[in-house]
Structure 1
């Protein structure tokens, strides 16, 4: 049956600005940037993990009509579309400070939790991002 998740999707309002953020600030890499005519297929991935891609999709055709796309854009800008990405890091405090120095909008400082240390941020469009340093697993 199913054996992998290959793509996840979030809505962005400007794909060039999304590249600047996800590649330039978060350090992801471009996997695919293709003009399909009816849309730009733009995916990024964590360096070294091309099997799991994030589609940075601009609301519009072919998935939705103009009126629906406008409603989605409004919801995205309010952070209300449910778009959330979860990443891991080896050092949450260091990653937090690096992103802070790059001007990323951080919404929560690194916090100890039962599963490790994590913190939050928002992309330029309102999507939520969580970055966690998982707690060591008992052997």
Structure 2
């Protein structure tokens, strides 16, 4: 039996702003843009990891009012789970993110557990880390 991750959902305030960040700054490719029941889901992927995609959507998309409100509160606080991406050129990825105006949380540094990484916030406040193997 084999198993692999297919989708990862990222809650964002503005799908267009998030799309520009994840596509233009991180280099992911737009796979799908779907409107349904007044909401929108944007799917992005990478040729380097075929079959793995991230889905951008607003807090209330596909959720009850109460659940959407709770997600919005967590998003506003910056309390949703972080995203971790891997690259073969951390310095270039970091400079591209910084040049985009992303809020820098940590400049590239060697971590005691092995990788070299950096951290910043996406336009909605989600914590994004990028790592490179030691």
Question: Could you state the TM-score of these two structures normalised by the residue count of structure 2?
Answer: 0.87
| Structure 1 position 25 matched with structure 2 position 25 | yes
TM-superposed CA distance for 1:61, in Å, is: 4.5
Computing the radius of gyration from Cα coordinates, the structure with the larger value is 1
Superposed, which structure 2 residues align to 1:3-82 within 5 Å? 3-37=3-37, 39-62=39-62, 64-82=63-81
The separation in 2 between residues aligned to 1:48 and 1:90, in whole angstroms, is 11
Deviation at 1:108, TM superposition (A): 0.0
TM value normalised by structure 1: 0.84
Whole-Å Cα distance in 2 between the matches of residues 95 and 61 of structure 1? 30
Aligned match of 1:131: 130
- Structure 1 unaligned segments of length 5 or more: list them: none
CA-CA distance at 1:3 after TM superposition? 1.6
Partner of 2:23, secondary structure, is helix
Q: Name the CA shift for 1:61/1:103 in 2 (closer, same or farther; >3 Å).
A: closer
Change (3 A) 1:112 1:70: same
How many residue pairs get matched? 133
Contact 1:25 1:104 in 2 (8 A): no
State the Cα RMSD in Å.
Answer: 1.8
Cα deviation, residue 38, structure 1: 5.2
